[in-house]
Chain A
Amino acid sequence: MIRFLQNLGKQTRIGFNKLGRGTFFLLQTLSGTLSVLPRPRLLLNQLYSVGVLSFLIITISGLFVGMVLGLQGYYTLSDFGAEESLGVMVAASLVRELGPVVSALLFAGRAGSALTAEIGLMKATEQLSGMEMMAVDPIKRIISPRFLAGLLSMPLLAALFSAVGVIGGQLVGSGLLGLDEGAYWSQMQAKIDFRDDIVNGVIKSVVFGFITSWIALFEGYDAVPTSEGVSRATTRTVVNSAFSILGLDFILTALMFGDH
């Protein structure tokens, strides 16, 4: 029993310690973002490797998720004779939930793990230390541009995911199942609200982009500088990002849509 309490206390202390380091790291990163502005090249390079390289996985996944929504939605809605509402159902699920959440999960797996591995390896091979000794702040030079890139990419990728998904739903709905194409689009246009649905979805994806980039970069920066340490950190990035995304999604959904 004493042992258990001891362990619990130790783990809690380690947890808070890490949270403290993480917060300090975040503050440094945020204050470093200002120095990225005069050097857009650094940001552009990272937008490419964080954002553009995630295009393919986001597009293909979005298409399939949209198509599945089209199929499932059609069968459920047709029980009530409401097939015409398929467009609304697909678009609302994507824009409010699946777009931000699934694309953030994919982003954590694709870009987040890559960021952690990259930073961790830079630490393990003394590149970060080397930069410090060359009087170059690695936070400003390496971390902040990547953080900004993640923050900017995530809402755009989520929007892409939702857009492709809506097309996927339409392909299945009117292409495969013979639903009227006009009904699909016009119902969607009438029922999807800009403020309630789209803006809320964008807010979610900004939050997820923030948290995922933070976790990925911090895990890399805080990794034990060995091959084993880096691989563990990469795993932690994906697991912790997934937890944070899903947990925050519940909180945000409750705040945004709870009073309807």
Chain B
Amino acid sequence: MDNSAPPLNSLVSVRHLSFSRGDKKIFDDISLDFERGKITAIMGPSGTGKTTLLKLIGGQLFPEHGSVTVDGQNVHLLRRSELYNLRKRIGMLFQSGALLTDMSVFDNVAFPLREHTRLSESMIRTLVLMKLQAVGLRGARQLMPNELSGGMARRIALARAIALDPMMILYDEPFTGQDPISMGALAHLIKALNNTLGLTSIIVSHDVHETSLIADHIYVISDGRVVGQGTPAAMQHSTSAWIQQFMTGAADGPVHFHYPAKDYIDDLLSSGKRY
């Protein structure tokens, strides 16, 4: 148990966090640190609650034990207005993009500006075009979300996430379901935005290759615990068989290919039962 204070340079620190959904324990006493100005990746198999972790950091879910501190503030002790003020400084990119379907691309990116600032329309226009230019989709401003490809939708959502110039962006599975080109474009964008805007990025993903290329630090989570952490290079050469299997994508290993079942031969020979 480390009760140590978080390292001085960490923007988000998670301490002894536990969270369950029904009877299933999603997180069991995990502690993580996310350094300022860096890209930190959370990796792990599907269903390990990676998205849940982002929701805990954003204050949308409450932990059973433990705390999440963002920029010195304990997220779950904040009052609603304080939490909303904190969220204005956090951008989040949802897996689906979560663009508002009844608004054009332009209005989607303008949405946080119109909700939270009193800027004039001409100023908003300038800002929106700048953000769209940053993700390379200035020409798509009049399209509706249902006219966008998955990769474009995510880039628009990214433009919206940086509309209020946040200090941090949370990425929920940014690479899932993307073709190689848009995957590459997104990875490049995440890296570029992080470095040029001085952001802190947290990426939740199970795409080992793309994530390894851009992350500064990787946590691997499985069964509610941190099973490994380090730089991408260190992870590639990890001695743990489990991490080796995860990083290389081998079909069998510590995580078995077969779902637990009784003996194959016995199962085939026991006729008469439906299942």
Closest Cβ neighbor of B95 among chain A residues = A126
The complex places the Cα of A253 from the Cα of B13 at a distance, in Å, of: 61
Q: A126-B95, A130-B94 are in contact. Are A135 and B88 (CB under 8 A)?
A: yes
Extra A-B contacts (10), CB below 8 Å, given A129-B98, A133-B87, A134-B112: A125-B96, A125-B101, A127-B99, A129-B94, A130-B99, A133-B60, A133-B92, A134-B87, A135-B87, A135-B88
Contacts of B101 in A (CB 8 A): 121-122, 125, 127
A64 to chain B, nearest CB (A): 33
30 contacts between A and B (CB under 8 A): A121-B101, A125-B96, A125-B98, A126-B98, A127-B99, A127-B100, A127-B101, A129-B55, A129-B60, A129-B98, A130-B92, A130-B94, A130-B98, A130-B99, A130-B100, A130-B157, A131-B100, A132-B58, A132-B87, A134-B87, A134-B88, A134-B92, A134-B111, A134-B112, A135-B84, A135-B85, A135-B87, A136-B111, A136-B112, A136-B115
Task: Please report A residues at the B interface, Cβ cutoff 8 Å.
Answer: 121-122, 125-127, 129-137, 141
The complex places the Cα of A134 from the Cα of B84 at a distance, in Å, of: 8
Q: Is B90 an interface residue (CB 8 A)?
A: yes
Contacts of A122 in B (CB 8 A): 101
Per the 8 Å Cβ criterion, residues 88-142 of B in contact with A are 88, 90, 92, 94-96, 98-101, 111-112, 115-116
Q: Are B116 and A127 in contact (CB under 8 A)?
A: no
Contacts of B112 in A (CB 8 A): 134-136
Contacts of B100 in A (CB 8 A): 127, 130-131
Most buried by A among B55, B88, B94, B98: B98
Interface residues of B toward A: which range? 20 to 34
Contacts of A121 in B (CB 8 A): 101
Q: Are B96 and A126 in contact (CB under 8 A)?
A: yes
Closest Cβ neighbor of A141 among chain B residues = B115
A212 to chain B, nearest CB (A): 22
A14 to chain B, nearest CB (A): 15
Closest Cβ neighbor of A49 among chain B residues = B102
Closest Cβ neighbor of B92 among chain A residues = A133
Q: Are B90 and A133 in contact (CB under 8 A)?
A: yes
Contacts of A125 in B (CB 8 A): 96, 98, 101
Closest Cβ neighbor of A121 among chain B residues = B101
Closest Cβ neighbor of A137 among chain B residues = B84
In order of increasing CB-CB distance, the 10 nearest A-B pairs are A130-B98, A126-B98, A135-B87, A135-B84, A133-B92, A126-B94, A135-B88, A134-B112, A136-B115, A127-B98
Contacts of A133 in B (CB 8 A): 58, 60, 87, 90, 92
The complex places the Cα of A137 from the Cα of B80 at a distance, in Å, of: 10
B35 to chain A, nearest CB (A): 22
Contacts of A131 in B (CB 8 A): 100
Contacts of B99 in A (CB 8 A): 127, 130
The complex places the Cα of A130 from the Cα of B158 at a distance, in Å, of: 12
A32 to chain B, nearest CB (A): 13
Contacts of A136 in B (CB 8 A): 111-112, 115-116
Contacts of B157 in A (CB 8 A): 130
The complex places the Cα of A136 from the Cα of B116 at a distance, in Å, of: 8
Contacts of B60 in A (CB 8 A): 129, 132-133
The complex places the Cα of A141 from the Cα of B100 at a distance, in Å, of: 12
The complex places the Cα of A137 from the Cα of B87 at a distance, in Å, of: 12
B128 to chain A, nearest CB (A): 15
The complex places the Cα of A67 from the Cα of B100 at a distance, in Å, of: 44
The complex places the Cα of A133 from the Cα of B94 at a distance, in Å, of: 10
Contacts of A126 in B (CB 8 A): 94-96, 98
The complex places the Cα of A108 from the Cα of B265 at a distance, in Å, of: 57
B197 to chain A, nearest CB (A): 18
Most buried by A among B55, B90, B115, B116: B115
Closest Cβ neighbor of A136 among chain B residues = B115
The complex places the Cα of A121 from the Cα of B98 at a distance, in Å, of: 11
Interface string of B138-160 (1 = CB under 8 A from A): 00000000000000000001001
A229 to chain B, nearest CB (A): 16
Closest Cβ neighbor of B83 among chain A residues = A135
The complex places the Cα of A122 from the Cα of B94 at a distance, in Å, of: 13
